Amino acid sequence: MKTLTIREAREGLSHPDQMFADSDEVLVVKHGEPVARILPVEPRKKAFRSLRKFLENQPMQTVPSEDILAEEREDRV
């Protein structure tokens, strides 16, 4: 874990890729007391591996949409 003072952190924020490249976690301290902890971002997981997998998991509509629309139109009259 890398420890920085507030001044060092402020000066280094113009180049965060260099500042945080060599450590997993950075602790920012003010007068020796920790005030912030900077952690690396975890890569975002894909919600679905593929469109095909997604579509396979979707429930199929058993009633044709034409019938649903016809019933809805009849109810309006």
CB atoms within 10 A of CB 26: 20
Sheet with 2-5: list strands edge to edge.
Answer: 2-5, 26-30, 33-38
Mean pLDDT over 61-67 rounds to 90
Reported confidence tier of residue 65, pLDDT bands at 50, 70, 90: very high
Phi/psi class of residue 42: alpha, beta or left (left: φ > 0; alpha: ψ in -120 to 50)?
A: beta
3-state secondary structure of 42: coil
- The residue ranking higher by pLDDT, 6 or 33, is 33
- The pLDDT of residue 73 is 93
The string of pLDDT tens digits covering residues 11-63 is 877 787 777 777 788 889 999 999 999 888 777 676 657 888 888 888 888 89
Residue 1: burial class (beta carbons within 10 Å; 0-12, 13-18, 19+)? exposed
Break the chain into its structural domains and give their ranges.
2-38
